[in-house]
Amino acid sequence: MGRQDFIKQIESSEEFKVLDKVANQADATAEGALQQIANMTMAALAAHGPDAHGGVGLVDYNVSLALMELTQRLEPVKHRKLVEFVSKLQKQTATDPSTGEPLKIQGDTLWTDLPSLGYTELETWLEYGGDYKDPCDPKMEPEQKQRWANLNAFIAQLSQAADVHYTSPNEELNIHPMDKSLRAIWTMAKAFEDGEHPPETLVDTAAMRAACSWFIHAADRLWTNVQNGRTYVQSSAAGPGSPKYSRRGWNGFERDRWDVWEQGLQDAKAACTDEGMKKLIEDALAHMKRAMADN
- pLDDT category at 167 given cuts 50, 70, 90 is confident
The three-class DSSP label of residue 285 is helix
Q: Tell me what the mean pLDDT of segment 246-270 comes to.
A: 97
Give the predicted TM-score (pTM) of the model. Answer: 0.96
Cα separation, 228 vs 41, in Å, equals 38
pLDDT in tens, 118-149: 999 999 999 999 989 999 999 999 999 999 99
State the sign of the Cα–Cα–Cα–Cα dihedral 282, 284, 289, 291: positive
Which pLDDT score is estimated for 55?
A: 85
> Could you read off the pLDDT of 178-229 as tens digits, one per residue?
999 999 999 999 999 998 899 999 999 999 999 999 999 999 999 999 999 9
What element of type H or E holds 221?
helix 206-227
pLDDT band at 276 (very low <50, low <70, confident <90, very high): very high
Quickly state the pLDDT bin for 172 (edges 50, 70, 90): low
Amino acid at residue number 105: I
pLDDT of amino acid 48: 84
pLDDT of residue 195: 87
Coil, helix or strand for 229? coil
- Non-local (6+) Cβ contacts of 219 within 8 A are 284, 287, 288, 290, 291
Q: What is the dihedral of CA 153, 40, 87, 21, to 10 degrees?
A: 50
Q: How many CA atoms lie within 13 A of 151 on its CB side?
A: 30
Query: Taking 60 as the threshold, does the pLDDT of residue 171 lie above it?
Result: no
Per-residue pLDDT tens digits for 260-269: 999 999 999 9
268, 203 in Cβ contact below 8 A? yes
| Sequence-separated (6 or more) residues with CB below 8 Å from residue 174 | 165, 167
pLDDT in tens, 49-87: 765 555 899 999 999 999 999 999 999 999 999 999 999
Domain boundaries, the chain: 3-124, 136-294
Q: How far is CA 174 from CA 24, 102, 164, 236, 267, in A?
A: 34, 20, 8, 14, 35
For residues 93 and 104, the answer to whether their CB atoms sit within 8 Å is no
State whether residue 284 is helix, strand or coil.
Answer: helix
